[in-house]
Amino acid sequence: MEETNFERTENDYCTKHREKLVDYCFDDHEPLCHVCSHYEDHKKHKVKPLKEIMVEEESTIIDTRKRLTEAIKSIELSFFKMNIEALQAHKELYI
């Protein structure tokens, strides 16, 4: 039980300092703990809090979803129009 818990949470903790990962370094493409992010070499790097990134990602997902829904709507609308046109053409043939 303890072992699985450790494995599960290991990714959330810094392997060097055993501290919780709170930041992300865009230069190294790796998550950092608060000790890492205050290290000299990361100080000059682009570091952002993980929480902020998660919020951004969430809004990107919502944005993508919105765009997808709009795309689906416009496809449905064009299909609808096509159907009406087809119906009208069909009617014209038989009128």
- Candidate residues 28, 48, 49, 53; the one interacting with Zn ion per rule CB under 5 A: 28
- Candidate residues 10, 12, 16, 51; the one interacting with Zn ion per rule CB under 5 A: 16
3-class SS of residue 18: coil
- The β-bridge relationship of strands 21-25 and 47-49 is antiparallel
What backbone phi and psi angles, to 5 degrees, belong to 11? -65, -20
- Candidate residues 27, 57, 76, 85; the one interacting with Zn ion per rule CB under 5 A: 27
| CA angle at 57 for the pair 55 and 63, rounded to the nearest 5° | 105
Nearest to Zn ion of 18, 65 (CB atom): 18
- Candidate residues 13, 45, 49, 53; the one interacting with Zn ion per rule CB under 5 A: 45
C-alpha–C-alpha distance, residues 55 and 60, integer Å: 9
Stretch near Zn ion under the rule CB under 5 A, chosen from 11-19, 54-62, 72-80, 82-90 = 11-19
